[in-house]
Structure 1
Amino acid sequence: MFVLTIDQRGSRRHGDRVEQLLADLAAHHEQTGVDPLRGFERTVGDEVQGVYDDPEPVVDVALHVLRLGGWTVGIGAGPVDEPLPSSPRAGSGPAFVLARTAVEAAKSRSRTVPLAVRGRDDGAGRDAEAVLVLVAAVAARRSEAGWVVADAMSVEAPRQDELAARLGVTQQAVSQRLRAALWAEERAARPAAARLLAWAQGVGEDRPARP
């Protein structure tokens, strides 16, 4: 299982944004058609928590929240105590403990990307963190024009000539923006991060032996 604990940064300066985040996450899940196992809800203060049983939407949501800005993301990968309650607030088990450790680690001022992963398999967890941090850092450098084409290709998957016609630019311009945005590299890295998160659960998933 995967527990995401998301904590607001600078709430004293910007006010409580939890309800706004919960609405955004609900809209994002509706758009992607993938719901968490246990939906996000406020746990304490300006923190929210959700539970997933699939690592791919965990990668997607973590990167989405980092793009929004103003949030710290902790991911815990491991078992949970069964039966899992309907409310994440009532959940317990290693994944919840690891998510708490992760979100506290992510608050370190030495981190350029406020995300951390802790897994029952600690090595795989930190490997997943490294990939996610790198992808988020690359995405943070995108221009507005880069985001426009990256979002369109990720959500709608149009042909580049169709997207160019819609934007009123040349197909070459679309291709250049995608290259500058490192869109193809990000899409290739996301499944790798998901596999590492799966291994980080430490519950017997197939994985290559460490050298």
Structure 2
Amino acid sequence: MFVITADQIDSRNDRDRASEMIARLNADFGPAFLLPPDQTSGDEIQLLTADADAALNVVLALHRAGHWSIGLGIGDVRTPLPASTRQASGGAFVAARDAVNRSKRTEARFALEAAATAPPGDPTPAADEVEAIVTMLLLLRQRRTNEGWEAIELLRRGLPQVQIAAALGISTAAVSQRLKSAQWRVEEAVRPALVKLVQNLDRATTESERDA
């Protein structure tokens, strides 16, 4: 399973952003949560999901918001699940805590930890290898301009490039250039592969924990 713990950056000198972020995550990904986002301390968000795609999307959403150090923990969770995230426990929660603490020292403000290593001979990439690839995607997106995001968001709504051009008051060639500069196709190609890597890491981690 996947636990995401996010700690607000410089919360002492900023307003509380947790409630707003929780509402956004619930609106965008709510059905995928086993335990919904909870404000576990004054400036921290924590949630649980068994969906690798949702876990990656939440990491991307938190990172784009720009106000969070993000830890992704992978591992087992004690069942039956309690009523709220703050009452839950298990290896994935410990891993997420370690990850968010380490994330504050990384360039992308992101870290990934697994509760156990894969068994000998298992070809699954290690947690640090998966973290490195997620970090590359985060840094790619971080360099994206507002104009690039604007074009991408319209494309995600299903608009063809002709309509995007009309909406933005630019030419279709300019739309294509914005999408190219934003490396939209690169992101779209890598995301499914990343989801598979995260899924496989979850499987290997859970098997190792249960065999221990």
Task: Give me the TM-score of the superposition, normalised by structure 1.
Answer: 0.87
Whole-Å Cα distance in 1 between the matches of residues 142 and 55 of structure 2? Answer: 19
Match of 2:143 among 141, 144, 150: 141
Offset at residue 148 of structure 1 (A): 0.5
1:74–1:103 contact (8 Å) kept in structure 2: yes
- Per-residue CA distance 1:29-74 (angstroms, 9 max, x = gap): 36xxx43121001112311110011100111111111111121100
Following superposition, which runs of at least 4 residues in structure 1 exceed 4 angstroms of deviation?
none
Match of 2:38 among 31, 37, 41: 41
2:32–2:51 contact (8 Å) kept in structure 1: no
Whole-Å Cα distance in 2 between the matches of residues 130 and 160 of structure 1? Answer: 33
Match of 1:112 among 107, 119, 122: 107
The RMSD of aligned alpha carbons is 1.8
Instruction: Provide the residue aligned with 1:63 in structure 2.
Output: 60
- Per-residue CA distance 1:96-144 (angstroms, 9 max, x = gap): 1111111011011xx2100001123375322221121111111111111
Offset at residue 19 of structure 1 (A): 1.6
- Give 5+ residue unaligned stretches, structure 1: 205-211
1:18–1:48 contact (8 Å) kept in structure 2: yes
Aligned pairs (5 A) from 1:1-211:
1-29=1-29, 34-108=31-105, 111-119=106-114, 120-121=116-117, 123-154=125-156, 156-201=157-202, 202=204, 203=206
Offset at residue 24 of structure 1 (A): 2.4
Offset at residue 18 of structure 1 (A): 1.6
Whole-Å Cα distance in 1 between the matches of residues 197 and 126 of structure 2? Answer: 6
Please identify, of 34-43 and 195-204, the stretch whose mean Cα deviation from structure 2 is larger: 195-204
